[in-house]
Amino acid sequence: MKIFLLYFLTAVGAYLVGSVNPSIIVSRRVYHVDLREYGSHNAGFTNFKRLFGNKMAWFVFACDILKAALVCLGARLLFEHIIGRGQLGAAYACLFAMLGHSFPVWYGFRGGKGAAVYGGSFWFVDWRVTAIGFVVVAVMLLVTRYMSLAVIVATVSTVALLALTKPDPAALIMSAVCVAVLILRHRENIVRLCRGEESKFRFHDRPKD
C-alpha cells in the first residue's frame, strides 16, 4: 500500500505542478491575450518568444525549468528514502510533469510540448548526460537554428547516453517514454522540417516596423 501511494501521489503531484503553465499565465496577465490563439498555438517558450520577444520569454523558460526541477528533486529524494530508487523517482516524476505541461488540467488540456520541463527534470535523473544535452541543444541551434530539431536530437542523445551509464533499468525505460512523448508532441514540427517549412529560431527580437 505504501508503494502504491508513493507512485500515485508522485504522479498526481507532478502532473498538477506541471500543469501550471507560466507562458499562459504571463501572456494573460502581462499582455492580456492567450498565446495559444496566436502563432503556433503552442503554450511554450518558443511561441511565447516569437510573439512577445525576449523581455519575458526567458523568465517563462526559467519558470518551466524550475517547476520541473523542484518536482523531480522532491520525487528523487522521496523514492530514494522509501524504496532506494531515486533515479526512478526523478524519471517517473519527469513523465507526469511533462504530461501536465502538455495537457494542463488548469487550462483546458491545451499546453506546451514539454521540452523545458524535460530539461529541468532530467538534471535529477543524471546531471552528466543532461549537461551534454544542453550543449547539444546550443550547438544544434547555432548550426541549424531549428529549435524543434535541436530539442529532438538533444533529448534522444540524453537517453542514448543514459543507457551507457548503467542506470536503473526502470528509470531508463521511463526516460525513453518521456522522449517518445516529446517526439509525438513535435510531430507537426517534424513534418514541417521534412517539407522545409519549419520556422527558424531567432536569438534576438524581431525588428519592429
* 158 membership: H or E segment, kind and range: helix 147-163
The fraction of the chain above a pLDDT of 90, given in percent, is 88
CA separation for the pair 186, 184 (Å, rounded)? 5
206: pLDDT confidence band, cut at 50, 70 and 90?
A: low
State how far Cα 62 lies from the chain centre. Answer: 11
Instruction: Name the DSSP class of 175.
Output: H
Task: Quote the pTM value.
Answer: 0.92
How confident is the model over 55-73, as pLDDT tens digits?
Answer: 899 999 999 999 999 999 9
* Distant-in-sequence, close-in-space partners of 90: CB < 8 Å, separation ≥ 6: 72, 73, 75, 76, 79, 121, 122, 124, 125, 171
How confident is the model over 5-36, as pLDDT tens digits?
Answer: 999 999 999 999 999 999 999 999 999 999 99
**Rounded to 5 degrees, what angle do the CA atoms 146, 23, 34 make?**
105
